[in-house]
Structure 1
């Protein structure tokens, strides 16, 4: 998790799910419909990076638990236990997990960021909101992603995952337009593809990232189409 006590120029220790939560939550604490799928996918990606789960080669990959012991991270543990609960009879599909609301780790992420002094929790008639208390962590994240997109900093695997997930839910331009105002949606998508190709990760991990993003689109776009 990003160290929230440091200034905006401090080195980042990224958590994909927490970073996505910050990016997709407005200053007033509310968000659009893409956040649950995005942060669930982000947590699953964190679990892949941690060696806790693996994805099969199926078009809609099956998710296998490699290590189901507690991680000590409440966000990872929430999703890992949810995967375990759906693996008793048959390994669950990735798209099925992403769209399963009970796996949404937003509450755990929000509470964690409240404890870190970054957000506050407000319960109201419209549900829970998470207004910003200390914006330095998000400012640091946005500055870093802008520098990566503009080629001023080298991307790390987590950057490629964050940007790929944002693209999968069609949220790159709405989320980052003020940070990279000179880049169009087309420019951003092209640059994100370049980053995905250039980031130094193993072929197996790159395949996991690619299948994760495809599964997000399956798990997020289909319910939207049905609802409309």
Structure 2
């Protein structure tokens, strides 16, 4: 299962709605996750500049509809800064991710909101994959399991969305939000595998979040 698919499972409540902690930021996390997936599959690379850009390494299809759809959308955007791509609705993988999870039997298509308005709900049909994933992340946070690149990417993305503590309540135990942040930073800093990819994506999400939150902070200060 791709990192973006695992992230989507974490961000959904059992009733098929996105967790309130990330309701406004889901896009940034899932775009970042699918870009990590593409990088790990050798299709894109990130420059080593302070504000990294994204280049296409291979346009050959992977055979995975999520990766191939995103890659096609990304081709005309090659050379753009990662920070701008993370916030681009054009790269939102939501539809293909949901379709993939439905095909796998993890999610099922449900109803929309009142009177057919609102987005379609996709409640959980098979809880087993998410339970395995959460058990894996709990072991990583507790230090009893060796983290994979997927684990580190998921933890980093959740932390950069300021949602790690809210999404991983049970897996964190009594760890405070501050200690959880330190723990995730410790884990990601100590991993030699994929550091360049992780750092580039983490920096992009962090910068995007600052850009998004700054107007809100300024408005609050003025009022």
The verdict on a shared fold, with TM-score over 0.5 as the criterion, is yes
Task: Tell me the distance in 2 between the aligned counterparts of 1:76 and 1:122.
Answer: 25
Task: Tell me the distance in 2 between the aligned counterparts of 1:127 and 1:16.
Answer: 23
| Alignment deviations for residues 24-74 of structure 1 (CA, whole Å, 9 cap, x no partner) | 111111111222111110010011111111111222211000001111111
Q: Which deviates the most, 132-141 or 175-184?
A: 175-184
Q: Which deviates the most, 74-83 or 109-118?
A: 74-83
- 1:206 paired with 2:195, answer yes
- Counterpart selection for 2:208 from 219, 222, 226: 219
Q: From the superposition, tell whether residues 221 and 77 of structure 1 become closer, same or farther in structure 2 (CA, over 3 Å).
A: farther
- 1:23 paired with 2:10, answer yes
Q: Which structure is higher in helix share?
A: 2
- 1:94 to partner: Cα distance: 0.4
- 1:83 paired with 2:70, answer no
| Alignment deviations for residues 173-216 of structure 1 (CA, whole Å, 9 cap, x no partner) | 00001222211111211111121122341xxx302211211101
- 1:224 to partner: Cα distance: 4.2
- 1:185 paired with 2:177, answer yes
Report the equivalent of 1:51. 42
Task: Tell me the distance in 2 between the aligned counterparts of 1:219 and 1:211.
Answer: 12
Report the equivalent of 2:127. 135
Q: Secondary structure at the match of 1:54?
A: strand
Q: Secondary structure at the match of 1:64?
A: strand
Report the equivalent of 2:106. 118
CA contact under 8 A between 1:156 and 1:200: conserved in structure 2? no
Count of aligned pairs: 209
- 1:81 to partner: Cα distance: 1.1
- 1:194 paired with 2:186, answer yes
CA contact under 8 A between 1:55 and 1:62: conserved in structure 2? yes
Task: Tell me the distance in 2 between the aligned counterparts of 1:83 and 1:123.
Answer: 31
Task: Tell me the distance in 2 between the aligned counterparts of 1:208 and 1:153.
Answer: 22
Using the size of structure 2 for normalisation, the TM-score is 0.89
Q: From the superposition, tell whether residues 25 and 98 of structure 1 become closer, same or farther in structure 2 (CA, over 3 Å).
A: same
- Counterpart selection for 1:144 from 117, 130, 136: 136
CA contact under 8 A between 1:83 and 1:92: conserved in structure 2? no
Task: Tell me the distance in 1 between the aligned counterparts of 2:118 and 2:215.
Answer: 23
Root-mean-square deviation (CA, aligned residues, Å) is 1.5
* Residues 82-101 of structure 1 mapped to structure 2, 5 A cutoff: 82-87=73-78, 91-101=79-89
